[in-house]
Amino acid sequence: MVLATEYCVQHMANVENQGMTLSSHGLAILALLMTSVMVRILPVFMPIRFSDEARGILERELPLAVFINFSVYIAWTEIQIDPVAAIVAIVVAAAITLTTRLGLILITVASTTVYIVTQLVLHT
């Protein structure tokens, strides 16, 4: 696990020369974190009165938009680092999601394992 992490950090440094830098990664993660906090945490402490229709749209669409943005960000950065491993892991996660009723944690563990093993096999 430590070797895979070290490998990812080294490849992340290589990706910096191709577009995104560590500071842009940090800004993207910060923006996603702030959006998630605004969507999930602030409404608990600061109730805002919306019509039922507007509330329904915000409760469905805004979290979905945050999830899609976060997913695209993760996929894009991983595909830049190691395209084969990332695409294989995403396909495995999608296949498991569509064909079984396994939980999110098991799907994440399976796709992460496939990603790491694919990286180690391709680059050793």
Question: So where are the chain's domains?
Answer: 1-81, 82-124
Q: Using CA atoms, how far apart are residues 42 and 55, in angstroms rounded to an integer?
A: 14
* Residue-wise pLDDT tens digits, 11-63: 555 544 555 555 766 777 787 788 778 777 877 787 778 788 887 877 778 77
Decide if pLDDT at 5 tops 70: no
The contacts of residue 40 (CB under 8 Å, 6+ apart) are 63
What is the DSSP track for 78-123?
HHHH-HHHHHHHHHHHHHHHHH----HHHHHHHHHHHHHHHHHHHT
